[in-house]
Amino acid sequence: MTDESPSNAQAYSVSELAFALKRTLEDAYGFVRLRGELSKVTNHASGHVYLTIKDDKAALDGVVWKGGVRGLSVRPEQGLEVIVTGRITTFPAGSRYQIVIESMEAAGVGALLAQLERLKAKLAAEGLFEASRKQRLPSMPSVVGVITSPTGAVIRDILHRIRDRWPCRVIVWPVVVQGDAAAGQVAAAVRGFNAMTQGGPVPRPDILIVARGGGSVEDLWAFNDEALARTVAESTIPLISAVGHETDTTLIDFVSDRRAPTPTAAAEMATPVLSELKALTADYDRRLATAGGRLIEDRRGRLTGAARGLPRPADLLAMAGQRLDYAASHLTMGLRRNVDLQAGRLTRIAAPLRPAMLQRRTEQLGERLNAVNLRFNGTIGRRFETEATRLEAIGKLLQTLNPRRPPRPGFVLVTRADGSLTPNGAALGAGETVNLMFEDVTRQAVIEGGSGAVPPAPAAKPVAKKPLSPPAGQGDLF
């Protein structure tokens, strides 16, 4: 055996050594089943989950790639004891080794229950368990939706129980009720029923039942899923949870509107009993008739008792009839006395009204009327004559003063072509046409010569006339 000098040893690069160690670990530990407690659980934005698995003496980093997170049977949480399966590898950039987790399960029932308690506390803090948010179940549903396995005894029990109690339509949404896919299928069924519309090809249920038979904690674990619990809490259709037996409790029991101890009990909660309703209706009808009869008898007795304290109708009418007879007899006598009284007054008034007196009075008034007429006619006649004379005199005066009256013989009325009067000869110009109006005819003439004035001929001395005096009481018009 010969010793080799260190100077002759092969020099590895850091990357070569790191990847050589990576291959060695992956070859030696290609499949590892590891048990421990989870800590430092980080859900990265990329979808990967980074965590640490530890016990009381050591710790090992782990990672769950994005594609494997959905297939995990439990949700990684701080402090949860689990059993994981994966392979050991290294992270060359950090000189660390880690386990790539492919599956994860809770390490015993105690770990599952601890995880359930933590999830219950979280949802309770959000108010999803409050009684105020739970919906009231319909009293007489026409359509019942059932979410369960189509091949188990549960669906047969529910259908048989509903058929015996209440005639309604049952719509079954088939799902698996155990395993990794159960929670997702049940949540999809709840959302699918809620998405139905009234009047659609498939009628929308009035109530939902989520049912499963009994089993172990692991068998019922799908109904403790947080996403399923939130979907049940958001359902607008009232929902009854009937998972397991009476002693079994799952997370959806707390968020559902009603929990049933068994699937058969859920069918009884969802539907009434038709025969009981008929019997109840008949009982109500009988009680209503009995109460109505008692009420009528009670009113009849009260009326009879009240009638005893009232006077008889015959007595009331007899007294009123007596008063009427008395008033009628006095009315006849009073009318007769009134007629006699008015007849006496008429006789006294008519006594002075004799025909001779009326005739004499008429003659006196006629004479007075004739005298008044004579005086009126004489005064008015003379006034009319006086006024007619005055009017005639005024008419003559107007005719005399009218400048457009026909001229007297020997006189001519000169007007311009437009019909206006000529005040004097000086106003007429040479060549101007004028109208000459004689007594019998009108001619036209043209002015010749200058505008020299011709001395007027001596005018005859006017004869003074006595002006007409207006009648008495009449004013002068001029």
* 457 pLDDT higher than 80: no
Q: What is the pLDDT of residue 459?
A: 47
* 297 pLDDT higher than 70: yes
Q: What is the pLDDT of residue 141?
A: 94
Taking the domains of the chain in order of start, what are their residue ranges? Answer: 14-107, 141-274, 406-421+429-442
**What six digits make up the tokens of 66?**
């994005």
Q: How far is CA 344 from CA 215, 337, 355, in A?
A: 126, 11, 20
**What six digits make up the tokens of 178?**
């155990």
CATH number of 14-107: 2.40.50.140
Q: What is the pLDDT of residue 373?
A: 78
CA distance 102 to 104: 7
Q: What is the pLDDT of residue 366?
A: 85
Sign of CA pseudo-dihedral 181, 186, 191, 197: positive
Confidence grade of residue 392 (pLDDT, cut at 50, 70, 90)? confident
Confidence grade of residue 228 (pLDDT, cut at 50, 70, 90)? very high
Compute the C-alpha angle 313/317/323, nearest 5°: 155
| Digit-coded pLDDT (tens) for 236-256 | 999 999 998 877 788 999 999
DSSP 445: E
> Could you tell me the pTM of the whole model?
0.46
* 193 pLDDT higher than 70: yes
Count helices and strands in the chain by DSSP H and E runs: 11, 13
* 465 pLDDT higher than 80: no
* 128 pLDDT higher than 60: yes
Q: Which CATH number fits domain 141-274: 3.40.50.261, 3.40.50.1370, 1.25.40.10, 3.40.50.620?
A: 3.40.50.261
Domains 14-107 and 141-274 share a fold: no
What's the mean per-residue pLDDT of the chain?
82
Confidence grade of residue 7 (pLDDT, cut at 50, 70, 90)? low
* 66 pLDDT higher than 50: yes
Q: Bigger pLDDT: 49 or 413? A: 49
List beta partners, residue 244: none
| Digit-coded pLDDT (tens) for 165-183 | 998 999 999 999 988 789 9
CA distance 120 to 114: 10
CA distance 78 to 53: 10
* 232 pLDDT higher than 80: yes
Q: Name the range with the highest mean pLDDT among 225-229, 305-309, 394-398.
A: 225-229
* 229 pLDDT higher than 90: yes
Confidence grade of residue 436 (pLDDT, cut at 50, 70, 90)? confident
Residue type (1 letter), 217: V
For residue 116, the tally of other CB atoms under 10 A from its CB is 17
